[in-house]
Chains A and B, each alone.
Chain A
Amino acid sequence: MSDMNQQMAAKYQGNFLKEIEEQAETGEWVKMCMQCGVCSGSCPTNFHPGWEHPPQEIFMMIRAGKREEVLSSQSMWMCVSCYNCYVRCPRKVPITHIMHGIAEYAYRIGRAPKNQPTLHLSQTFWNNATKTGRVNEVQLTQTLYFKDGIASGIKKAMAMQDVALGLVKAGRLNLMEAIGGGHKCKDIKGIHAMLAKAKELEAQRKGRAA
């Protein structure tokens, strides 16, 4: 994976803006930012200590070629997709999408921050949901709760047990999922074929090997 990072760095030779424009989803919009700051002001996560760089600062850092700082930043991963910034942006820049685009690119070339919780959640969710075509809620929550060890996992599970029981009573949570039961997609092979095809098409569109 780090090879990929070096390849990209070599390919764009310090032109980080071009790199983002070509490699990150919706990255071509970065140059449209006029630095008014309405996105940052509208961001509900802005008081969070992990939110180092607000969107318009990220955009300026991209233009200034601060490759390492941007790709290894926690900032894009903090986006909660509320779309306030996108709605208010006077240039109609799709800020929410760009945040996810940069995050995905950083992950793809192996530069995403280590132990990033959002990344962990996304990865876990994806692996879980694509396995059978349906989310296995019990296994998903187990994986998330026990991420930091058994003790903290049990503590989190105990704290949430009322919610879990309520969900079971309402028929929203099937405990059989713990041993591989519960809902599945009827045509699992079909789902896998669709995902493979989608991956192939996306690679074609972005001009890189699958």
Chain B
Amino acid sequence: MTVATNQTILVVGGGIAGMTAALEAAETGKQVVLVEKNPYLGGRTVQLYRYFPKMCHPTCGLEINLRRLKANPRIQVLTMAEVTGISGDKGNYSVNVKLAPRFVNENCTACGECNKAATSEIDDAFNYDLGKVKAAYLPNDMAYPQRYVIDPSVVGTAEGQAIKAACKYGAVDLDMKEEVVTLNAGAIVWATGWQPYDAAKITPYRYGEFKNVITNVEFERLADPHGPTGGKILRPSDGKEAKNVAFIQCAGSRDENHLRHCSRFCCMASLKQTRYVQEAFGDAGKSTIYYIDIRAIDRFEDFYQEVKANPNVSFVKSKVARISEDKNGDPRLWGVNTEGYKRYSEPHDLVVLAVGMEPSVKNVAIPAEVMGDSSGFVMADPSNAGIFGAGCATNALDVNRAVQSATAAALRAVQVVNQVARAEA
């Protein structure tokens, strides 16, 4: 049973920003409810192999936050939960939360017997559908809560019964139903994060049509030892080692036809990903970055200079015009190098589109009046009353900035519930 009052802070979204906001608020002594749509916390950050600038593995960076969370009794976590309605006003909101059935209760010890009993497979959403998982699965190795999930497709089947029978702890409950709970909250932190821009919309790049044209988020999964290839950088068409990788910057970003804003993180992400190629293949691994201009924001210029000094990484100042496919499956890039106005037509083993960020939930899709910019990011505005944006719901940010933004949002939310507390004292 979730306990919430008008002095509770509701945090929507359990990625790095939502977790941070929840922790910061709870560590000042506030009651927090953290709502997450996925069956696990960590959001997009946990789907990275490593994140810049310190090349942290999420198992390290996120682990710290998970420990803080486990140690804090003031935070209640609801996973597989979505906010469907918000009513009331600053200091006294009433929020409807839809809870999807997990079909596994808290008795689960993550022993994995249900996984062995399962036979059917579903797309592996954690790996951006690059692989398959069984219908009874642990979303990822460091998933919190560390509890299996059963896909609704096996409910009511013999397979479902077999999965249930395999559990020694009575944790499988196939009779779970979707339910809607109503929570009270004084302030809301909206941290629903981002999603990669749909690369198929950039038609000259033929994403979805050419197998060896992938996105930067998919490349993270290829490089990750926990990913579908066990950390080997193999191209999707024929499983060949991708030793000659092209990165196309501004795939969707800074483009009036797609995303109007600069997504900020993609230059650094591609610079970082050239290191994966270098690590995997040494001097045999070549990376080429096609760019308009490199925006290694803030203090990351050092990182850029380091990559630039690597003789295995080359830079071509050009927005690629189109991609074709050679007979052997090599994607071929066409365009004009604007330094010297030279036309090129270059084959590569693999093309990584540095797709930009768009908000997962645009401000107009939030079930409350929330101001947004032309891309749908939440803007800070007094008319938002007690709803505060945090992380990538407010702007295209990297992990570091998302955390800063979340801390700021937590402070604003804390002030609201403090006012409520004083008024009632």
Q: Judge if B250 is at the interface, Cβ distance under 8 Å.
A: yes
Produce 1/0 per residue, B320-348, CB < 8 A to A. Answer: 11100000000000111110010100000
Contact for A37 among B256, B322, B335, CB less than 8 A: B335
Contact with A along B255-266 (1 / 0, CB 8 A): 111100000000
Tell me, in angstroms, the Cα distance from A136 to B268 when the chains sit together. 61
B292 to chain A, nearest CB (A): 4
Q: Please tell me if A46 contacts chain B, counting CB pairs below 8 Å.
A: yes
Within 8 A of A (CB), among B334-368: 334-338, 341, 343
Q: Mark A28-55, 1 if CB is under 8 A from B, else 0.
A: 0000001111101110001100000110
Residues of A within 8 A of B292 (CB): 34-36
Do A42 and B257 touch across chains, with their CB atoms under 8 A apart? no
Partner of B335, one of A41, A53, A89: A41
Q: Are B256 and A90 in contact (CB under 8 A)?
A: yes
Within 8 Å CB of B258, what residues of A?
Answer: 90
Complex Cα distance, B256 from A90, in Å, reads 5
Q: Is A88 an interface residue (CB 8 A)?
A: yes
Known contacts A37-B319, A54-B336, A92-B257: A47-B250 contact under CB 8 Å: no
Known contacts: A46-B336, A57-B341. The answer to whether A38 contacts B321 by CB under 8 A is yes
Nearest opposing residue in chain B for A36, CB measure: B319
Interface residues on A, range: 10 to 19
A91, CB-defined interface residue at 8 Å? yes
| In the complex with contacts A35-B338, A90-B250, A41-B256 CB distance below 8 A | no
Please, which residues of chain B bring their CB within 8 A of the CB of A91? 256
- In the complex, B254 has a CB within 8 A of chain A: yes
| Chain B residues in 8 Å Cβ range of A37 | 317-319, 321, 335-338, 341
Of chain A, the residue at the smallest CB distance from B344 is A41
Asked whether A56 is an interface residue with its Cβ less than 8 Å from the other chain, the reply is yes
Residue in B319, B322, B343 whose beta carbon sits within 8 Å of that of A47 in the complex: B343
Give min CB distance, B331 to chain A, whole Å. 15
Least Cβ–Cβ distance between B291 and chain A, in angstroms? 9
A41 touches B341 (CB 8 A): no
B131 within 8 A of A: no
Q: Give B259's nearest chain A residue, CB to CB.
A: A90
Is B204 in the interface zone, CB < 8 Å from A? yes
Chain A residues whose CB sits within 8 angstroms of the CB of B337 once the complex forms = 37
- For B254, what are the chain A residues with a Cβ–Cβ distance below 8 Å? 34, 90
The interface residues of chain B lying within 8 Å CB-to-CB of A36 are 250, 292, 318-319, 338
CA distance A46 to B322 in the complex (A): 14
Measured in the bound complex, the distance between the Cα atoms of B217 and A15 in whole Å is 46
The CB with the most chain B CB atoms within 10 A, among A41, A42, A56, A92, is that of A41
Flag if B343 contacts A56 (CB, 8 Å). no
On whether the beta carbons of A90 and B319 are closer than 8 Å, the reply is: yes
Give B344 Cβ to nearest chain A Cβ, in Å: 9
Please list the residues of chain A having a beta carbon within 8 angstroms of any beta carbon in chain B.
34-38, 40-42, 46-47, 53-54, 56-57, 88-92
The chain B residues found within 8 Å of chain A, CB to CB, are: 204, 250, 254-258, 292, 317-322, 334-338, 341, 343
Q: Which 5 A-B pairs have the closest CB atoms?
A: A41-B321, A41-B335, A36-B319, A90-B255, A40-B336
Cβ contacts A to B, 26 pairs, < 8 Å: A35-B292, A35-B338, A36-B318, A36-B319, A37-B319, A37-B321, A37-B335, A37-B337, A37-B338, A37-B341, A40-B341, A40-B343, A41-B320, A41-B334, A41-B343, A42-B322, A46-B336, A53-B341, A57-B341, A89-B256, A90-B250, A90-B254, A90-B255, A90-B256, A90-B257, A91-B256
